[in-house]
């Protein structure tokens, strides 16, 4: 196996499946199966889940809502997604713990790094909810932060696009995909991978980012087994 401990970042939007909003149980069940395969190989899996399928603070702010209030709503949305993912994983008999950056102790454990690592060592999937716990951040930043804290080998960002291209492949049919690219080149070419806060945090801490298509069945297990899937961003 290529990796011993991974941090998987799933966007909230990924959970929508073909729906315009919310959570598609079918998509969730598919993800749970993919994640189970990886756990069964003995790889330690931590997950950060987004909330964009339910609420984004910036969207609230553009409608006149206080940004911080909106971001709190966004963070709670990630907890809703985390609970849904936990439930889907448990349906597959995968042991999980949900840890949140905002304390909701009747519902989930508070985020404690040492405890998270202990869970991982015992083979439990640890889902991190509520982002970083702070407004004005994204769950991509939370994913990089948690990955560094728990010493993950890489951050695997599952998206609907299967890697990093020299232009938007959804708009340009001639777009070329990079198999690997350096952090520096992503910045100099003005490519969009993550928001800058998340990206530079990863760069500074030499944490590789892999962008791949999570919706293609079998991609996750292939990736952790060492197959060249998606784009690797490294130093």
**Binder of ligand UDP out of 56, 119, 146, 157 (CB under 6 A):** 56
Contact positions with ligand UDP (CB under 6 A) in 134-153: 134-135, 137-142
Q: Does 82 bind ligand UDP (CB under 6 A)?
A: no
Q: Which 13-52 positions form the footprint of ligand UDP (CB under 6 A)?
A: 13, 50-52
Per CB under 6 A, the list member of 28, 75, 191, 211 interacting with ligand UDP is 75
Q: Would you say 71 is a known binding-site residue? A: yes
- Minimum Å gap between C-beta 178 and ligand UDP is 22
Least Å distance, CB 225 to ligand UDP, is 26
Q: Is residue 99 part of the contact set for ligand UDP (CB under 6 A)?
A: no
DSSP letter string, the chain: ---SEEEEEE-TGGGGTTSSSS--HHHHHHHHHHHHHHHHTT-EEEEEE--TTT--HHHHHHTT--HHHHHHHHHHHHHHHHHHHHHHHHHTT--EEEEESS--TTTSEEP-HHHHHHHHHTT-EEEEESTTSSTT--HHHHHHHHHHHTT-SEEEEEESS-SEESS-TTT-TT--EESEEEHHHHHHTT--SS-HHHHHHHHHTT--EEEEETTSTTHHHHHHTT---SEEEE-
Annotated binding site for UMP: 51, 71, 132-139
Q: Point out which residues bind ligand UDP (CB under 6 A).
A: 11-13, 50-52, 56-58, 70-71, 74-75, 77-78, 131-132, 134-135, 137-142
């Amino acid at each position: 196996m290529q990796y011993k401990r991974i941090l998987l970042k799933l966007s909230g939007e990924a959970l929508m499946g073909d729906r315009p909003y919310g959570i598609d149980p079918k998509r969730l069940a598919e993800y749970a199966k993919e994640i189970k395969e990886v756990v069964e190989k003995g790889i330690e899996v931590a997950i950060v889940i987004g909330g964009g399928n339910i609420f984004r603070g910036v969207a609230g702010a553009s409608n006149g809502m206080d940004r911080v209030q909106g971001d709190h709503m966004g963070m709670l949305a990630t907890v809703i997604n985390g609970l849904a993912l936990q439930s889907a994983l448990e349906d597959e008999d995968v042991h999980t713990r949900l840890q949140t950056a905002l304390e909701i102790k009747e519902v989930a454990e508070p985020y404690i790094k040492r405890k998270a690592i202990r869970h991982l060592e015992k083979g439990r999937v640890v889902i991190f909810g509520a982002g970083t716990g702070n407004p004005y951040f994204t769950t991509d930043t939370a994913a990089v932060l948690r990955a560094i804290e728990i010493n993950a080998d890489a951050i695997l960002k599952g998206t609907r696009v299967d890697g990093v291209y020299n232009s938007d492949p959804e708009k340009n049919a001639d777009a070329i995909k990079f198999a690997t690219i350096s952090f520096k080149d992503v910045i100099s070419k003005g490519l969009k991978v993550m928001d800058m806060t998340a990206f530079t945090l990863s760069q500074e801490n030499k944490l590789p980012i892999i962008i791949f298509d999570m919706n293609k069945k079998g991609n996750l297990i292939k990736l952790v087994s060492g197959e060249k899937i998606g784009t690797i961003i490294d130093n």
